[in-house]
Amino acid sequence: MKNTKNKGDSKDGFWRRLTKLVGYSLLLALTVFFRPPLYGQETQRAPINVNLIIDGSESFTGVRAEVTSWVNNRLDQILADGDRVTVWSAGVQASVIYSDTITSSAEREAVKRSIGELTVSGTNADFTGALREAAARQSTGFSYTLLISASPQALSSVISGPNANLLRYSRIEDFTNWRALVVGLNIDTRVRRAAGAFFGS
């Protein structure tokens, strides 16, 4: 008897498997790239694009010290020479407050300083603008995007709004009055590109 399963069903099943695979691959990449190295162990990898999107609303004021300490520690774990780092202040309107390639400890300190000196204003946090610009800037290669939110309302508006596809996060860490999200930028595009290559279209 001939198999009556149509090609559309096959493609639907493939999309589901591919989406899961991409999600697992992203999680594996984060585990490999961003775990703290063992004592005395030097790790080498290709340069990556690091995007830091920091809440620039007045809500950030009360958690600034804790966030700065946490982010600085995370940067010490993940940054390597050659990485391209861009820091956004998601305030009333998102803006880039730092962008450079890491070549020495001076750039690492400049990144940390930009976060510690971030100016806050208003009650709005323009996460959508920062995520959209980060996605547009994304070049080939691996990218790591970390979003820090101290504004639950602003984050909720992104999740429930028309730009929710920008906030496909693979990991979230909750703290008192703030949270950190690792965001998979352009993940839909990557899935579609892989599917197109698979089907030869």
Task: Tell me if 4 is assigned to some domain.
Answer: no
pLDDT at 21 > cutoff 90: no
Task: Tell me if 175 is assigned to some domain.
Answer: yes
Mean pLDDT of 123-152: 87
Task: Tell me if 30 is assigned to some domain.
Answer: no
Task: Tell me if 100 is assigned to some domain.
Answer: yes
Residue appearing with tokens 């958690």: 63
At 168-184, the pLDDT tens digits run 766 889 999 999 999 88
Determine if the pTM surpasses 0.75: no
DSSP characters over 138-198: --SS-EEEEEEE--HHHHHHHHHSTTGGGG-EEEEEEETTEEEEEE-TTHHHHHHHHHHHH
Task: Tell me if 1 is assigned to some domain.
Answer: no
How many independent structural domains does the chain possess?
1
Task: Tell me if 21 is assigned to some domain.
Answer: no
- For residue 30, the model assigns a pLDDT of 47
At 42-66, the pLDDT tens digits run 457 889 999 999 999 999 999 999 9
More confident residue, 24 or 159: 159
3-state secondary structure of 134: helix
pLDDT-derived band at 155, boundaries 50, 70, 90: confident
Q: Which domain holds residue 185?
A: 47-82+96-199
95 contacts 125 by C-beta, under 8 angstroms:
no
71 Cβ contact partners less than 8 Å away, ≥ 6 residues apart: 52, 54, 112, 115, 146, 148
- For residue 199, the model assigns a pLDDT of 42
Task: Tell me if 87 is assigned to some domain.
Answer: no
pLDDT at 70 > cutoff 90: yes
Task: Tell me if 168 is assigned to some domain.
Answer: yes
pLDDT-derived band at 140, boundaries 50, 70, 90: low
